[in-house]
A and B are shown apart, each in its own frame.
Chain A
Amino acid sequence: AQTVTQSQPEMSVQEAETVTLSCTYDTSENNYYLFWYKQPPSRQMILVIRQEAYKQQNATENRFSVNFQKAAKSFSLKISDSQLGDTAMYFCAFMKRGYGQNFVFGPGTRLSVLP
């Protein structure tokens, strides 16, 4: 079974600075996807970024980028130029390719962006 670990229960960052959220996972699979979801106080789960394991290039979405280290089974999220609206819970998630029902979430990191 796959597991996802987020070792930082809470983090804070000053507005306009950069912060990195950590995620590690355990799997014996070779074909899979990794995701970061954001859950603001509204409770809505919002996809931030996705990474296909077969792609070596790290995914980027505007101010959000990942550092995907397949051998180390590490998938960190970097948020540049942090904004107050980035305050949220962030969940790392793993999905084995072809098995959408096996979406495994980490416990989450609560990020606070301070003015």
Chain B
Amino acid sequence: NAGVTQTPKFRVLKTGQSMTLLCAQDMNHEYMYWYRQDPGMGLRLIHYSVGEGTTAKGEVPDGYNVSRLKKQNFLLGLESAAPSQTSVYFCASSYSRGGGSSRNEQFFGPGTRLTVL
């Protein structure tokens, strides 16, 4: 049981380049999330998905797109990278939307450090 995995772990881009971050989970979770972590700001939600084929915007969605074609995968795309997108990106998943079950915590991947020059 690998939990939540992220690919790649590190990446350096030039301004204007594009890339896709892959998140995979093997826990059969319905909910998946993409966060970015910046110093002094905790984690901020970029996009999330409540199930296969669905996505929605979070707190800081601009400049990013996502897709969830398969339940176990959640992709984060940067179409034209900017230096402001230099950050550590975390993917997370949860069993449910937190309606009362104890299984409402979010499980995190190891993160991807992205630098945009």
Contact = CB atoms under 8 A, between A and B. Distances in A.
Contacts, number: 61
A21 B63 CA distance: 35
Interface in B71-117: 88, 90, 92, 94, 96-100, 104-108, 110-111
Interface residues of A, number: 25
Interface of A: 4, 9, 33, 35, 37, 42-47, 50, 91, 95-101, 103, 105-108
Please indicate which of the listed interface residues A46, A100, A107 has the most CB atoms of chain B within 10 Å of its own CB.
A100
B105 A35 contact: yes
Nearest to A42: B110
Contacts of B60: none
Interface residues of B, number: 28
A108 B104 contact: no
Nearest to A32: B98
Given A97-B98, A101-B45, 20 more contacts: A33-B98, A33-B104, A37-B108, A42-B110, A43-B110, A43-B111, A44-B108, A45-B92, A45-B108, A46-B108, A50-B105, A95-B98, A99-B98, A100-B97, A101-B58, A103-B45, A105-B42, A105-B44, A107-B40, A107-B42
